[in-house]
Structure 1
């Protein structure tokens, strides 16, 4: 019996010696040029204008983030790819069906109005329930905005495709805005697939790339992006880092690295309410010699 206990002690001591050392605290993830962060779901609130230090007017679209949280983590083992399911805008439980309600209860978050997936790199995975705010982005960086375009219903070829129409002169009767010829004679004797004709216009998913973030409002969770964004007012818009502005081109040098995998809530409390992008450059009203 004594020999058995001694052998067990020796085996346990050998296992302890062979066990790898565990560090006191894991190193936080750092942003690299190959990192792919999660995006956010915002709601389009309309357009306004800003003026830089030279007095140049800049049209901007206002996007508001409300109750944006991580609902599910999708990894390589279970789904074959790494992504985060993001939800936004809380809604009442009575307006959610039972399967979705169980999905939200399993995640421990309030039911959401909209859910989207964002592909991320494994080092950018966030825990379920993490809240994403406007300071997830930095002023001066570039983002891509995706949303359905404004639906315009059934439209003719002139409005839908920009056709010139028929001659508006003598002899043209009731066909001024008609499409015109769409086929050929006997050979090939058909209308080719994809011919631009009258039909349903708008309501398609569109992405406007490389829009500059002009201002961040931490109190109201607002993002001001330069230019127009698809969709009507109050439309859900997917906002994420620009795919065509990789590396150091995605943001000014003084704002890099980006908050990774997202901004620390403690840092947001210490930030000023508004963060405005620097425009810089020369006075555009000075004539060059």
Structure 2
């Protein structure tokens, strides 16, 4: 498990729009909103858990939406029922305590670079052309190979298909991280933040926002 450059938060993707800067430049941005949550639910230390990390909870739900072990874990620290729990592994956990609320504009400011993680849109079972950008065969001159994959290896040697071969299969629905995206605007009245560029997932998906890792600045070179 890699170490984060700093504590982060979770948010909900709301969609994309165009943002006009003061000089008139149009910037495509992703709008991220925040539901109730981003509360520290547990502080892990090297002496108790073997590593230093801060567990954060997000999105309040009804009690019956959680299992008894999940409810017991949150009630231990007298915290409201929260749907999502994620850890941010840090070099130091000093200054954090259970029940502490994390506010976005206190952790980040406009112009900061962040790493955004999420689950990409699932596209189901797809062929080689859509999944791996393969070229199709001729559509004329007697060709009978159009969108088929074609040969996938020799016969006698090696007598099998190599692992990792690019072939048809399930596309999307995987975890992805987009690094070093710029925070364009923080709107405290609407409780949203605008991040330059596109992020994984469709509107309504959970996003994990953490400070961007920059070697030599907030991450040691070794």
Between the aligned partners of 2:12 and 2:194, the Cα distance in structure 1 is: 12
Question: Superposed, which structure 2 residues align to 1:84-163 within 5 Å?
Answer: 84-135=54-105, 136-163=107-134
Secondary structure of the residue aligned to 1:121 is coil
Higher strand share: 2
Deviation at 1:245, TM superposition (A): 6.5
**Which 4+ residue blocks in structure 1 deviate beyond 3 angstroms?**
none
1:195 aligns with 2:195: no
- Judged with a 3 Å threshold, the aligned counterparts in structure 2 of structure 1 residues 123 and 114 are, in CA distance, closer, same or farther, namely closer
Q: Which runs of 5+ in 1 are unaligned?
A: 1-33, 249-289
Question: What residue in structure 1 maps to residue 10 of structure 2?
Answer: 41
Deviation at 1:86, TM superposition (A): 0.5
Between the aligned partners of 2:189 and 2:76, the Cα distance in structure 1 is: 30
TM-score, normalization by structure 2: 0.91
Deviation at 1:168, TM superposition (A): 2.0
Between the aligned partners of 1:167 and 1:184, the Cα distance in structure 2 is: 23
- Cα RMSD after superposing both structures: 1.8
Q: Which has the higher contact order (CA 8 A, sep 6+)?
A: 2
Secondary structure of the residue aligned to 2:101 is coil
Between the aligned partners of 1:104 and 1:123, the Cα distance in structure 2 is: 19
Between the aligned partners of 2:135 and 2:5, the Cα distance in structure 1 is: 44
Higher helix share: 1
Between structure 1 and structure 2, the one with the greater Rg is 1
Whether the 8 Å contact between 2:55 and 2:86 is mirrored in structure 1 is yes
Write the deviation string for residues 237-288 of structure 1: whole angstroms up to 9, x where unpaired. 110000136638xxxxxxxxxxxxxxxxxxxxxxxxxxxxxxxxxxxxxxxx
TM-score, normalization by structure 1: 0.71
Write the deviation string for residues 181-223 of structure 1: whole angstroms up to 9, x where unpaired. 1011322222111100000000111000000000111123211
Secondary structure of the residue aligned to 2:76 is helix
> Number of residue pairs matched?
214
Q: Which runs of 5+ in 2 are unaligned?
A: none
Between the aligned partners of 1:101 and 1:171, the Cα distance in structure 2 is: 65
